[in-house]
Amino acid sequence: MIENENQKALIKEQIGFLFDKALLEEIYKVGKIRKVDSGHVIMDPGEEILSIPFIIQGAVKVSRENEDGDELLLYYIEQGDTCAMTLQCCVRQSKSEIKATTMEDSIILMIPNHYMEDWMNRYASWRQYILESYHVRISELMETIDAIAFMRLDERLDKYLKDQAKLMGSLEIRHTHQQIAEDLHSSRVVISRLLKQMESKGMIELKRNRVVLKSF
């Protein structure tokens, strides 16, 4: 139960407009706040899902991982979002199929998963939010598939950097070349070469473990 008035105020400010008052009161009663440092894995494939996560502050990267530990970026969830893949697992009562990693220091609201179906039946605002979340995430997944299938790697890299800048609200992206390569399912050598080409064209500036865009 959320008794801290500052936490209640933060929840109301960030997601309160999405839900009616009665549902918000239920969220205060059953929700728990979790503060997570940047780079922390909050969910692994095969993990039992006990709660639905809402991002109150920060951003989370959602990816798929194969048996060798290679990752493929699926989408990001940020302030006011939840994870559609997690919702799907809650409905099916199955284990996690994704890996979720915080991109920055984050505050996450955790709702026990058994409330999902009950609230779908009782609250129109909850039902609308869940359906909209599915729609948004599916659109982002389609965009990811299109990028992999139809865009050259240099185009995907340019799009990736711009998406990162918009997500973090900064032209300075604090990722190593290896991190970028993993997100794009490529090799560090190839990504480093493409980044150098972008720098020579004046599109970016490379610094130690950072990429600075000239513009969005």
Q: List pLDDT tens digits, range 149-194.
A: 899 999 999 999 999 999 888 999 999 999 999 899 899 999 999 9
* 167-186 exposure pattern, b = at least 16 Cβ within 10 A, e = fewer: bbeebebebebebbbbbbbe
| Per-residue tokens: 90 | 């809650």
Query: CA 187, CA 204: separation in Å to the nearest integer?
Result: 20
CB 47 within 8 Å of CB 102: no
Return the pLDDT at 1: 79
Rounded CA gap, 59 and 104, in Å?
A: 6
* Residue 90 C-beta-side C-alpha neighbours within 13 Å: 20
Closest of 56, 43, 62, 68 to residue 6, by C-alpha: 56
Q: What residues are paired with 53 via a beta bridge?
A: 110
Residues 6+ apart with CB under 8 A from 6: none
- Is residue 187 within 8 A of residue 181, CB to CB? The reply is yes
Task: Give the Cα separation of 169 and 139 in Å (integer).
Answer: 22
The residues facing 55 across adjacent strands are: 108
pLDDT at 84: 83
Domain 153-213: CATH class, spelled out:
mainly alpha
Domain 5-149 in CATH 1.10.287.370? The answer is no
Whether the Cβ atoms of residue 213 and residue 165 lie closer than 8 Å to each other: yes
**pLDDT at residue 59, as a whole number:** 93
Residue 204 to residues 146, 184, 207, Cα–Cα distance (Å): 25, 18, 10
So what's the pLDDT on residue 71?
A: 82
| Domain residue extents for the chain | 5-149, 153-213
Q: Which helix (H) or strand (E) holds 168?
A: helix 153-168
Alpha helices, H only, 75-152 = 84-92, 115-122, 124-150
Q: What is the pLDDT of residues 105-164, one digit of tens each?
A: 999 999 999 898 899 999 999 999 999 999 998 898 899 889 888 999 999 999 999 999
Task: Report, as an integer, the average pLDDT of 184-208.
Answer: 93
Quick one: how many helices (H) and strands (E) in the chain? 8, 10
Residue 93: per-residue pLDDT: 77
Q: What is the pLDDT of residue 159?
A: 93
- What are 57-105's pLDDT values in tens digits? 999 999 988 777 788 889 999 999 998 888 878 777 788 989 999 999 9
